[in-house]
Amino acid sequence: MEWTDIKTTVPAVWAETAEAIATGISGGGIYIEDYRDLEAQVEAIAAARPAGLILREKNLPEADYQALASDVLRICKRYELPCILHTFVGAAQALGVKQIHLPLPVLRAQSKEALSGFAQIGVSCHSVAEAFEAQALGATYLTAGHIFLTTCKPGLPGRGLDFLREVTQAVSLPVYAIGGITADRVPELQAAGAAGACLRSSLMLAPDPAAELHPYQEV
């Protein structure tokens, strides 16, 4: 599948950050037509009952991210869906969120005091060495990727199942696979030791998130 111009929509209150949101969803290639329906897409995903939602938009200014997160948290609360914030420790603290997902360089920059209020700290890892380091710095789970070829990182080959297996065997934390995930590959991911998998653009762009998610819930 190749990215061309894909039309999507976001609510008017997010208009100022629409370009950054589009980049975050697809890595480029999304054309913003109007600003009303991204909130509805997030709600449709929440209604489909995934295990949780990570709100990743690290290119936004923190104040804009906090405003976006506030809206998304309200949706997740209605569906009793865990919502993990990403990158912005201060925004998570201001919103009273106890779950945070961090790039490894951001984790390195945090003091133990800054992270002491979080019950869950996820970290993105791209090597076994990074996985070791994240665990030592206090991570409670990891994402490892990208495993397969993905439209979010066009032209970059996936690191593969052997990489995933090496990470899961190297640490004692739950490891979630990310990148190019499809339902038919879940058994392979589980065999490599993954605790689960993360979906990104396949859900954000799905006309029916419940139908998109259902095969994963049946595995």
Out of 86, 101, 126, 146, the active site residue is 146
pLDDT number for residue 26:
34
pLDDT number for residue 178:
94
Percent of the chain with pLDDT over 90: 71
pLDDT number for residue 188:
96
What tens digit of pLDDT does each residue of 125-141 get? 999 999 999 999 999 99
DSSP designation for 156: P
Average pLDDT over residues 84-96: 97
CB-CB contact of 61 with 20 (8 Å): no
pTM for the full predicted model? 0.82
Name which residue leads in pLDDT, 75 or 25. 75
**At residue 36, does pLDDT exceed 90?**
no
Average pLDDT over residues 196-208: 89
Is 214 annotated as catalytic?
no
Going by C-alpha positions, the residue among 182, 126, 123 that lies closest to residue 149 is 182
pLDDT number for residue 21:
39
> Distance between CA atoms of 177 and 86, rounded to whole angstroms?
17
Architecture in CATH for domain 6-218:
Alpha-Beta Barrel (3.20)
The two structure tokens encoding residue 71: 């809206």
